[in-house]
Amino acid sequence: MSAVPLKTLDTARPQSQRSVTVLGATGSIGDSTMDLLRRGGERFRVEAVTAHSNVEALAKLAREFNVGFAAVADEARLDALREALAGTGIACGAGEAAVIEAAARPADWVMAAVSGAAGLKPALAAVDRGATVALANKECLVCAGEFFMTRAVKTGARILPADSEHNALFQALSSGNREELVRVIITASGGPFRTWTAEAIEQASLEQALKHPNWSMGQKITIDSASMMNKGLEVIEAAHLFGLTADEIDVLVHPQSIVHGMVEFSDRSVVAQLGAPDMRIPIAHCLGWPDRLPGPAARLDLAAIGQLTFEVPDLKRFPGLGLAYEALRTGGGAPTVFNAANEIAVAAFVARKIRFGMIARLVEATIEAALRDVAAAAPASADEAIAVDHVARKLAASLLPQIAAKAS
Ligand code: NAD
Ligand code: MG
């Protein structure tokens, strides 16, 4: 029988064991990654794992995978970590430097899954030694995207998008050339407040914001999904990952979270990636790349789902998304400020210091003030990015009382 030839696996390529490091191993993405590594058995060897302060969970993973090195970011937890690893021969350290050291150790593949801009320097340490970096930590690209991607080109580091929408785009983009690309579309679930009025969203409680309809994720990204700031961060992330302009990136609200990303080409073909809302799908794609790993996620049963629906996002009720586009168009330090202000705003909301609706207002006010005072140029180094990030955090914190007072 003659058939159109399909691409076949390169069986000549040696299937040697891959060494991996997981930054943020105790988080939601870390958990999914460790699950895949557990299932992968001998195919993977874990070089290092890191966590913020949960020494018990970190030590458990370190022992299970018999890692070379475990790092906890919270310096005060060093003794506890040493104690928890006593007798194992596993080396350990504490503080930011130890997390960076974990990333710098020789592993072929690194999962960057720290939450927030705190993940920037560790991710860069992996980039600097030319590793393959599966990037979940979108904030580090929003904070210092231009610098980060330029550095990756210089060192030969391969950045694989682990964020589901960007992983979808990565898969779809391979069916055409840059010149043929018209636009990319990333989808958003719309979060728990998709159908709520602006007044109800303004007053939403922490418990309501933490109830994501489709995905189970860390606290910060769950709040970001409720405000659609997450989609804003992802628009900026997509711009840096794939070298796109703001006009080439569209967002569609898709409550079923089955289609994750689409690419429209000049012949009007739209190529999409679909899958159950399970982060183990994009992570497995990164872990197996350039091949595919058999994955544990549920198979997609479209007949059971029945309907896939799409809506244009409402920027009035979800102003964070519009602010992200503005920051991307403004360029320079604006996305860095956008990210830092959002981290402060989310922390203030979680601490019940501000109402949900104030998150976007604080971000907007901080960008306005920052653009008058600091950083017109895009950060040209990690230190510059962190410096702008710190100024923006301080600015946001100083504006907080007045934003809170104005709206009450
Ligand atoms: P999480 O809060 O569940 O986990 C964060 C991990 O980072 C934990 O291991 C924590 O100990 C560690 N960490 C936190 N602060 C740290 C610090 N200052 N220094 C060192 N380590 C620190 O978060 P998550 O949901 O796993 O998300 C991680 C990243 O992946 C975020 O950037 C998020 O936007 C992105 N992401 C997550 C999902 C998801 O489904 N959870 C999907 C796409 C992208
Ligand atoms: Mg995403």
Per-block average pLDDT, block size 10, for the chain (408 residues)? 84 85 98 98 97 98 98 98 98 98 98 96 98 97 96 98 98 97 98 98 97 91 97 98 98 98 98 98 97 95 98 98 97 96 98 96 96 76 94 96 78
Mutate to test the pocket of ligand 1, among 114, 212, 214, 281 (most ligand atoms within 8 A of CB): 114
Residue whose CA lies nearest to ligand 1 atom number 23? 218
Element at 218 (helix H, strand E): none
How far is it, in rounded angstroms, from Cα 342 to Cα 359?
A: 7
Q: What is the DSSP letter of 25?
A: T
Residue 340 dihedral angles phi and psi, to the nearest 5°: -65, -45
- Name residues whose C-beta falls within 8 Å of residue 57's C-beta, 6 or more positions apart in sequence: 26, 51
pTM (2 d.p.): 0.97
Gap from CA of 11 to ligand 1 centroid (Å): 35
Residue 408 confidence (pLDDT): 52
Cis peptide leading into residue 379 (ω within 30°): no
Please name the residue whose Cα sits nearest to atom 18 of ligand 1.
Answer: 118
Alpha carbon of 57 to ligand 1 centroid (Å):
14
Contacts of 136 (CB under 8 A, 6+ apart): 24, 29, 111, 112, 113, 162, 163, 283
Of 222, 228, 141, nearest in space to 187 by CA: 228
- Cα–Cα distance measured from residue 197 to residue 268, given in angstroms and rounded to the nearest whole number: 35
CA of 15 to the centre of ligand 2 (A): 30
Report how far ligand 1's centroid is from the alpha carbon of 135 (Å).
Answer: 11
The pLDDT assigned to 265 comes to 98
What are the DSSP calls for 313-333, one per residue? --TTT-HHHHHHHHHHHH-TT
pLDDT at residue 334, as a whole number: 96
Which ligand sits nearest to residue 281's alpha carbon? 1
**Domains of the chain (ranges, CATH numbers):** 18-161 (3.40.50.720), 163-278+307-316 (no CATH), 331-408 (1.10.1740.10)
How many A from CA of 12 to the centre of ligand 2?
35
407 CA to centre of ligand 2 in angstroms: 30
Beta carbons within 10 angstroms of residue 362's beta carbon: 24
* Tokens of residue 56, six digits: 């018990």
Position in ligand 1 atom list of the atom nearest CA 51:
11
The two three-digit tokens of residue 367, written as one number: 């960008």
Closest ligand to Cα 257: 2
Ligand 1 atom nearest to CA at 31: 26
Closest ligand relative to 137 C-alpha: 1
What is the C-alpha to C-alpha distance for residues 88 and 51, in angstroms, rounded to an integer?
18
Give the C-alpha separation, 63 to 85, whole Å: 7
Please tell me the distance between residue 107's alpha carbon and the centre of ligand 1 in angstroms. Answer: 20
Pocket around ligand 1: residues whose beta carbon is below 6 Å from it?
24-30, 50-52, 54, 73, 99, 113-115, 118, 136-139, 163, 215, 217-221, 279
Q: Which two tokens stand for residue 76?
A: 């005060």
Identify whether the C-beta of residue 335 lies closer than 8 Å to the C-beta of residue 238: no
pLDDT value for 374: 64
